[in-house]
């Protein structure tokens, strides 16, 4: 695993006025207190992205929410552009989107925000959901990609991913006239550099990685975090053995470990996880970290993880996520305590 050395600088926290010292981190005196110009205090750490050799920021920007959230309404393109620009300032060099996100709005934001950017970065989008939901045929993949490229204002993407592979299944992916046929054509024509896999069916994705060599990356969603470690049973060991990059999406379990906690609990969403959530909250109360920071550091402590993909809706959320990229990992003792009696981990 290759890392860049964080920049160490002395500075005062503009929020609380205290000296944050030389450690490139959040102010240690108040959880959630940020340095106003964090870009001058922290340098993003990078990890090798599987067999591609890419050096990617260990915090990637997910495009699922920077165009707005349902409860807040649609935000102007300029709102998302500002988030992307700040991400670039903070050293983020990996951006993930999909036609599904805002029915193309997310791709439009990135098309504007990344136009003319000279710093090296990696852009990933997906196929399978648009123009029609769950259409994984060869023709649909080509039509969907063509529309994505227009919204992204480019003729090439670095990574093209199958969106929710379980909706296609093995035949839908690999039979003649289906997804993989199209993706290999696209790659051969230089329109994408590599092909990635996303989904929730851990067994299917593990099988795909074992039996084919098409994919260089895999995204898990709510399958590996403080509350569940399902992906560590088969998928992540398989990916590591095959040299496939592992991306953990929604590392805060769709917000249950963050700003959505009270809302989801009021609605009864993820009810089977509440016992574990309360147990983890009690553990985090005893450490000098916020829940967000602990959750992200927990995953970054696993060297098999290539990146955390954080979907943010504003710059504050972005900076909270990026602040953990300071080389700090959780202690073995704390990890053992977190994993010790989880009802969500039958493999412990």
CATH 3.20.20.100 location in the chain: 44-339
pTM: 0.86
Tell me the C-alpha distance between 242 and 137, whole Å.
27
Using the 8-state DSSP alphabet, how is residue 272 labeled? G
Structure tokens at 178: 């289906």
How many CB atoms neighbour CB 143 within 10 A?
A: 17
**Residue bearing tokens 């993820």:** 270
User: Do 306 and 245 contact (CB within 8 A), yes or no?
Assistant: yes
Return the pLDDT at 106.
Answer: 94
Return the pLDDT at 164.
Answer: 96
Return the pLDDT at 234.
Answer: 98
Going from the first residue of the chain to its last (348 residues), give the mean pLDDT of each consecutive group of 10, the final group possibly shorter.
36 47 37 42 87 98 84 85 96 97 93 94 95 91 97 98 97 97 99 98 98 98 97 98 98 94 95 96 92 96 98 94 91 94 42
CATH code of the domain made up of 44-339: 3.20.20.100
**Residue bearing tokens 């098309």:** 111
User: 3-class DSSP state for residue 216?
Assistant: coil
Tell me the C-alpha distance between 198 and 191, whole Å.
19
What does 253-276 look like in DSSP terms, one character per residue? TTTTTTTTHHHHHHHTTTGGGHHH
Return the pLDDT at 133.
Answer: 85
Task: Give CA angle at 327 (326, 332), nearest 5°.
Answer: 130
Return the pLDDT at 341.
Answer: 53
How many CB atoms neighbour CB 337 within 10 A?
A: 16
Return the pLDDT at 130.
Answer: 78
Q: Give Cα 68 distance to the centre of its chain.
A: 17
On the CB side of 284, CA atoms within 13 Å amount to: 21
Return the pLDDT at 71.
Answer: 66
Tell me the C-alpha distance between 22 and 302, whole Å.
25
């Amino acid at each position: 695993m290759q890392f860049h050395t964080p920049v160490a600088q002395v500075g005062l926290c503009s929020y609380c006025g205290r000296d944050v010292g030389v450690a490139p981190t959040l102010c240690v005196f108040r959880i959630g207190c940020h340095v106003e110009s964090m870009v001058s205090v922290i340098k993003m750490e990078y990890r090798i992205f599987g067999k591609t050799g890419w050096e990617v920021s260990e915090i990637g920007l997910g495009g699922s929410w920077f165009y707005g959230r349902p409860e807040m309404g649609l935000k102007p393109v300029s709102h998302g552009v500002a988030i992307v620009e700040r991400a670039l300032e903070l050293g983020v060099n990996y951006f993930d989107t999909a036609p599904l996100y805002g029915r193309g709005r997310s791709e439009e934001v990135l098309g504007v925000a990344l136009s003319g950017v000279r710093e090296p970065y990696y852009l990933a989008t997906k196929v399978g959901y648009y123009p029609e939901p769950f259409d994984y045929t060869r023709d649909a993949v080509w039509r969907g990609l063509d529309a994505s490229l227009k919204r992204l204002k480019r003729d090439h993407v670095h990574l093209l991913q199958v969106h929710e592979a379980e909706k296609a299944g093995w035949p839908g992916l690999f039979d003649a006239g289906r997804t993989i046929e199209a993706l290999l054509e696209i790659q051969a024509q230089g329109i994408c550099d590599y092909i990635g896999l996303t989904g929730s069916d851990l067994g299917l994705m593990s099988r795909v990685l074992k039996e084919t060599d098409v994919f260089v990356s895999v995204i898990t969603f709510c399958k590996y975090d403080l509350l569940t470690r399902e992906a560590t049973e088969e998928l992540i060991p398989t990916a590591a053995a095959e040299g496939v990059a592992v991306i953990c999406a929604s590392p805060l379990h769709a917000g249950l470990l963050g700003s959505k906690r009270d809302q989801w609990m009021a609605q009864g969403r993820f009810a089977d996880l509440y016992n574990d959530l309360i147990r983890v909250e009690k553990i985090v109360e005893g450490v000098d970290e916020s829940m967000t920071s602990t959750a992200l550091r927990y995953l970054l402590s696993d060297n098999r993880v290539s990146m955390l993909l954080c979907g943010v809706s504003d710059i504050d959320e972005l900076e909270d996520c990026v602040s953990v990229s300071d080389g700090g990992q959780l202690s073995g003792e704390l990890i053992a305590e977190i994993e010790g009696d989880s009802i969500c981990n039958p493999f412990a």
